Amino acid sequence: QVQLVESGGGLVQAGGSLRLSCAASGRTFRTYGWFRQAPGKEREFVSAFRWSDGGTYYADSVKGRFTISGDNADNTAYLQMNSLKPEDTAVYYCAARFGRTGLTGNPALYDTWGQGTQVTVSS
């Protein structure tokens, strides 16, 4: 079965860093995306990455702080999160698009989703 397995979430103090990982199995995806959902709020786009050219796309709220990347050797996507703020607290989800290359923040256009990993930033 094609699936995404996430790891790297946890508790960190404001100003700290975390690196989330998303390991894909079954198929190679052309585009990865990261989304997050805070309690009582809708899921929101964080970042997207395209394998073919390393293209990236970031939400304004994380520009300059988060970096998305991918390791083709192990088919894993990463989200490096620096200068974390309490408002970054959320469940973070990895998503992938198979057979599509467009970078998008629309969750409806992603084919496969991970289970989510909790990120909590304390003040």
Predicted confidence band of residue 92 (pLDDT cuts 50, 70, 90) = very high
The answer to whether residue 16 scores a pLDDT higher than 80 is yes
- How many whole angstroms separate alpha carbon 107 and alpha carbon 88? 19
Nearest CA to 95 out of 52, 34, 46, 49 is that of 34
Is the Cβ–Cβ distance between 10 and 122 less than 8 Å? no
Per residue in 44-62, pLDDT (tens digit) is 999 999 988 999 999 999 9
Residues with Cβ within 8 Å of residue 108, at least 6 apart in sequence: none
Residues in the chain: 123
Predicted confidence band of residue 100 (pLDDT cuts 50, 70, 90) = confident
What pLDDT does 26 receive? 82
What pLDDT does 71 receive? 86
Token representation of residue 16: 């700290």
